A = this chain, B = another copy of it.
């Protein structure tokens, strides 16, 4: 497969993950086709062409996969039935539609993890009325939608019985509200040939207003034992899935020192953006290597890094206006990524900044300057 180097890559989803994936595919000389409902999507700006269609349009997904040598995706909420048919017909789709189906239903994902003896927080499907379930399960609890959650959506915290009135109205499960010391994440790649590589354990910090990850610290400031445990668990997840591609494994480190898997993303992940500047191989390049069946690259962290998401400011919607860009670019070791989205919205991911610095504390101080100075408003 390698000799031509003008392979055609199809990507379902044209957001920032698709864009950065396409950028890396270009480095290999690949052609890139994107499917996304928004014309002029970020990924389309670096792709050969975009099919404008939604993620459940079987006909258009078929068109994309049929004209690509390898197909992949940057989002979970897509039509897996047509992908299964296409794989059956002999087309290459990584990660497999079966892996995606297991992951996109969060309750199936948890079942799979527990069947493989991978630790998660205690949980239970909501099978009868929520009120009785809550009484049985115990409070406080987190209600999670089985389908469609993303960036803090599809999650509802039930502190008291009367909160049930405002709860999610969909297939859901209850999860123990664990006492979290830190949220951790690990990117793991597994190639079409079965090679596995694991990136360093990182820390994720959240914007509390919107429950969106806004800062990633690499490496995580946890001891060696926790690092080893988190890496081992992350690798087990991908082995259990039999997945091919790159996977982001989000974990809780509890105050009691336990590592529990929160959820898995079958694609490049926000917590892995730091790899572009800080690691020998970026998560996006690694994904391409994995799905093309190439040898995986070194995941060595060359320098500590802090990544800050650039989120749309509350109260602004429209053509984005980035204030503070020059202040950020003046910070030694800061790299800026603007995704090229035409419209900003409150908490929308409009870009990110990675700061590399031999001293992680200095990198964190610089990250605070970024958060303070860089604001996305609108015209």
Contact = CB atoms under 8 A, between A and B. Distances in A.
Contact of A4 (B3, B321, B334): B321
Contacts of A332: 280, 297-298, 300
A325 B6 CA distance: 13
Interface string A317-336: 00011110110011011111
A350 to B, nearest CB: 9
Indicate how many identical chains form the complex.
Answer: 2
Contacts of A338: 5, 27-29
A292 B320 CA distance: 19
Contacts of A168: none
A102 interface: no
Name the residue among A295, A333, A339 with the largest chain B CB count within 10 angstroms. Answer: A295
A48 B2 CA distance: 28
Contact of A46 (B3, B26, B281): B26
Nearest to A340: B29
A26 B23 contact: yes
Contacts of A5: 320, 322, 325, 338
Contact of A335 (B48, B297, B300, B334): B297
A131 B329 CA distance: 55
A4 B325 CA distance: 10
A300 B10 CA distance: 36
Given A303-B302, A322-B3, A323-B3, A329 B26 contact: no
Contacts of A289: 329
A337 interface: yes
A336 B28 contact: yes
A356 B280 contact: yes
A45 interface: yes
Contacts of A4: 321-322
Contact of A48 (B6, B45, B337): B45
A321 B23 CA distance: 22
Contacts of A28: 336, 338
A294 interface: yes
A333 B300 CA distance: 8
A37 interface: no
Given A23-B26, A27-B337, A333-B280, A295 B3 contact: no
A351 interface: yes
A297 B337 contact: no
B2 A26 contact: no
A250 interface: no
Given A26-B46, A46-B46, A2 B297 contact: no
Given A23-B26, A335-B285, A339-B29, A330 B295 contact: yes
A104 to B, nearest CB: 30
A209 to B, nearest CB: 24
Contact of A336 (B6, B27, B322, B351): B27
Interface of A: 2-6, 19, 23, 26-29, 31, 45-46, 48, 277, 280-281, 285, 289, 294-295, 297-298, 300, 302-303, 320-323, 325-326, 329-330, 332-340, 351, 356
9 contacts: A3-B321, A3-B323, A19-B26, A23-B23, A26-B46, A46-B46, A285-B335, A300-B332, A302-B356
Given A45-B48, A302-B302, 18 more contacts: A3-B321, A3-B325, A5-B322, A5-B338, A23-B23, A23-B27, A27-B336, A27-B338, A28-B338, A29-B339, A294-B325, A294-B326, A297-B329, A297-B334, A300-B332, A300-B333, A302-B303, A303-B303
